[in-house]
Structure 1
Amino acid sequence: MSSNSERTNYPDQLAQIQFNSANLPTEHQFDAWRQFLAPSFDVEPMQETTSFSYTLNSYLLDQLIVTKTTFDTVQMIRPSRKLSDSDSDFLTLQHYGKGQMQGSLDNGTPLLLKSDRIWILDSAHSYQVCGQTDHLIGLIIPRHLLVDHDKIYTDAPSLSWALNSPQGRLVLTAMHTIWQQLPCMTQTDAPIVSAGIMGLLNGLLSNQWNDIARRQLQLTTLQVLQRYIQANLHRSDLGVEHLCKAHHCSRATVYRLFQPLGGVMSYIREQRLLGCYQVLKRLQATDSQRVQDVADAWGFTNYANFSRLFKQRFGINPRALKQLSPFATDFNALQNATALSEVERWQYWLEQIV
């Protein structure tokens, strides 16, 4: 029984797992989900399991596992007998976009995991929850990467930040920004990005907020602008004036925030190029969509200029990239397909990060 989905892997890409109930016969869907979570949880259905829907997409980011998932109503129990396993030596950072999970820790502390808070749970404690979720984003973090992990274990096995707090907004924005970049990220980028998010979490958990509040609030503003840019790359008028009007900030503020990234227009251009690259590398040579149509959709109004910038950035003409088959071996030699099922790969990841 396998739910592998084929994808093109280049040597420097991040390792990825995609697990989807739609790839399985209905009668095997819940059993596959139970097996997938078996290293960490006992999983029980909350309703008739004639079908059970879930999706999971995960990346291995250096020593972190970054994941997005949805699943139907279920009960998840982390019993004491699983705490002796190596995978108990991690914590999870998670936010529920929709839905909720409700339950308690083994000490009776109630848990209500829903969209108004970001949670850190210590997997070295037993707990049980039930419910369902849509758009859960999370990080699995090896214990040794958190400076205050002993304090978390003894004093705060579950802690959270309100989503409307500075800390909550900052962490959630960072998580979504990282997620958006993961498909384009390389193994070279991974340790730097991983260290960045861990530096943020350790700063907040070490009660250093007062010392770094100004800098982190600036980062929050920058990331809000970045998310807005990502959602509006198709607009040809996207620029400094547009950002100032949309977010009621001065030109000086926008210039200052983006200066470390090479400037605001350089950042916008880079995001558009990355978007075009991702679309073009997935197109078959026989697809009817023209390269110019792709460029137009991502906000480029001058095709000749786009083609020149694309070649400078990626070392290949955009038309030539489209002509390459997704399974070609003459452009960044492809990895061999793994013989491991997604379940086995997930369990292997957990063993490796701790």
Structure 2
Amino acid sequence: MESRNPLPRVDIAHFDTNFFDSKDRFEAWNENMGVLFDLLAPDGSVPKHDMTAQIDVCNLGDAVFGVTRAQSQFFSRDERRVARDGMDHILVQVFLEGGGVASSDDRINPGDMLIIDLDQPHEMLNTDFANLTMVLPRELHPHLSGLLAEFHGRRLGPDNPMVPFVAEHMCSLWKHVPEMDMGHAGIALKGTLGLLETWLTHESKLTEDVSPEVSLAVGKSIFRYIDQNLGEQLSPELLARTFRISRSQLYRIFAPHGGVSRYIQERRLRRSLHMLSNAVHNGMSIGAIGFACGFSSESQFSKSSKNRYRISPSEARNVGQAAAEANAAGPETMASEMPEFTAWIKSLGR
């Protein structure tokens, strides 16, 4: 019997500001963590002094996973940043040391978990800290991302026994990643995401008349249907009729997502933002993109975009074109010039 070629090992990267001269350390740190957040000193100023920070991270293909250690600083994403970079990922964090105060005013302590939806504004003043973070692309994990997004910016503490259980599971995965090839890592990641999804489905108390397993399966089918038909007229009545469930069951499935209408609106806005920032769609007018994503008029599209992102569709397109010009050297060249952590984050889900 022929032996199979061994699968590649998991790629692991290391970043440490101590590799750089003192005057260059913040810039180097910003080239890495700046892919996710705007970074400031605790007093709100741009750091001009020495910076201490390290990142140890691995690329699991469908997720980026690793430990970050850094001194106290202010992390933020405002509405314009959300609209500008189109970073549609979810961060699942376990704080190993230190913590801080999140935008929800929740105080984060060692042992706590924190969920950050990069499609929503976020601020956090961190103490000196160390955390374990899993970055998940929403497009690859839509149902889990929807469940996680409802906990955006909120502290999940050990008063819920599932929090330390999940945190210990994530820490165990991180401990054993260096021993794994990509096949093992894929299995381990699937198990970790399944654990998160099952836990949060239970937490959301989906239904009393349908089991969580059934609701989870039907929900995934409905989410796929919505994404495939964003340009059509979508309503709770249509979805309930199409999937042969009652409206009350439908509402319970979408309760963790803020309701059916809110979920559909969010998906339309995200799709439109992607189209506006992608040069492939430069030949389409603003109105045509709005109609393709299910908005009834250009004015409704513009109003919805401004309410959600504080930026008009035309401004979003200009920002996207500017980014495309900046990347004119080509993705391979750009990837070779940026830190591995930044390149892995940018390539997630693509």
TM-score by length of 1: 0.55
Give the structure 1 partner of residue 33 of structure 2: 37
Residues 131-161 of structure 1 deviation map (CA, whole Å, 9 limit, x = unaligned): 23333111111124152534554x4433443
Question: Does the CA-based 8 Å contact 1:103-1:112 persist in structure 2?
Answer: yes
Give the structure 2 partner of residue 76 of structure 1: 75
- In structure 2, C-alpha distance between the alignment counterparts of 1:151 and 1:181, rounded to whole Å: 27
The change in CA–CA distance for 1:63 and 1:151 in structure 2 (over 3 A counts) is: closer
- In structure 2, C-alpha distance between the alignment counterparts of 1:49 and 1:86, rounded to whole Å: 25
Deviation at 1:127, TM superposition (A): 1.4
Give the structure 2 partner of residue 147 of structure 1: 143
- In structure 1, C-alpha distance between the alignment counterparts of 2:154 and 2:193, rounded to whole Å: 16
Larger mean CA deviation between 64-73 and 36-45 belongs to 36-45
Structure 1 or 2: larger strand share? 1
The change in CA–CA distance for 1:22 and 1:205 in structure 2 (over 3 A counts) is: same
- In structure 2, C-alpha distance between the alignment counterparts of 1:195 and 1:139, rounded to whole Å: 13
Q: Secondary structure at the match of 1:202?
A: helix
The change in CA–CA distance for 1:182 and 1:45 in structure 2 (over 3 A counts) is: same
Deviation at 1:101, TM superposition (A): 2.2
Kindly provide the amino acid, as one letter, of the partner of residue 121 in structure 1: I
Question: Between Structure 1 and Structure 2, how many residues are aligned?
Answer: 214
Residues 109-132 of structure 1 deviation map (CA, whole Å, 9 limit, x = unaligned): 324222142121211111111223
Question: Does the CA-based 8 Å contact 1:41-1:79 persist in structure 2?
Answer: no
Give the structure 1 partner of residue 62 of structure 2: 63
Give the structure 2 partner of residue 244 of structure 1: none
Q: How does 1:331-350 map to 2 (within 5 A)?
A: 340=336, 343-350=338-345
Question: Does the CA-based 8 Å contact 1:101-1:112 persist in structure 2?
Answer: yes
The change in CA–CA distance for 1:344 and 1:187 in structure 2 (over 3 A counts) is: same
Q: How does 1:259-278 map to 2 (within 5 A)?
A: none
Residues 205-262 of structure 1 deviation map (CA, whole Å, 9 limit, x = unaligned): 11179999xxxxxxxxxxxxxxxxxxxxxxxxxxxxxxxxxxxxxxxxxxxxxxxxxx
Question: Does the CA-based 8 Å contact 2:71-2:127 persist in structure 1?
Answer: yes
Give the structure 1 partner of residue 101 of structure 2: 102
Kindly provide the amino acid, as one letter, of the partner of residue 114 in structure 1: N
Q: Secondary structure at the match of 2:336?
A: coil
Give the structure 2 partner of residue 20 of structure 1: 16
Residues 268-293 of structure 1 deviation map (CA, whole Å, 9 limit, x = unaligned): xxxxxxxxxxxxxxxxxxxxxxxxxx
Give the structure 2 partner of residue 195 of structure 1: 190
Question: Does the CA-based 8 Å contact 1:96-1:133 persist in structure 2?
Answer: no
Question: Does the CA-based 8 Å contact 2:107-2:155 persist in structure 1?
Answer: no
Question: Does the CA-based 8 Å contact 1:121-1:157 persist in structure 2?
Answer: yes
Deviation at 1:345, TM superposition (A): 2.3
Deviation at 1:89, TM superposition (A): 1.1
The change in CA–CA distance for 1:129 and 1:50 in structure 2 (over 3 A counts) is: same
Kindly provide the amino acid, as one letter, of the partner of residue 130 in structure 2: H
- In structure 1, C-alpha distance between the alignment counterparts of 2:7 and 2:202, rounded to whole Å: 40
Structure 2 unaligned runs (5+)? 1-5, 206-210, 213-334
Question: Does the CA-based 8 Å contact 1:17-1:57 persist in structure 2?
Answer: yes
Q: Secondary structure at the match of 2:127?
A: strand
Question: Does the CA-based 8 Å contact 2:31-2:339 persist in structure 1?
Answer: no
Deviation at 1:68, TM superposition (A): 0.3
- In structure 1, C-alpha distance between the alignment counterparts of 2:117 and 2:74, rounded to whole Å: 18
Residues 280-313 of structure 1 deviation map (CA, whole Å, 9 limit, x = unaligned): xxxxxxxxxxxxxxxxxxxxxxxxxxxxxxxxxx
Give the structure 2 partner of residue 328 of structure 1: none
Q: Secondary structure at the match of 2:10?
A: coil
Is 1:134 matched with 2:129? yes
The change in CA–CA distance for 1:138 and 1:148 in structure 2 (over 3 A counts) is: closer
Q: Secondary structure at the match of 1:206?
A: helix
Give the structure 1 partner of residue 162 of structure 2: 167
Deviation at 1:85, TM superposition (A): 5.0
The percent identity for this pair of structures is: 15
Give the structure 2 partner of residue 51 of structure 1: 50
- In structure 2, C-alpha distance between the alignment counterparts of 1:200 and 1:86, rounded to whole Å: 30
Is 1:125 matched with 2:124? no
Which structure would you say has the larger Rg? 1
Deviation at 1:39, TM superposition (A): 2.3
TM-score by length of 2: 0.55
Kindly provide the amino acid, as one letter, of the partner of residue 197 in structure 1: T
Question: Does the CA-based 8 Å contact 1:73-1:132 persist in structure 2?
Answer: yes
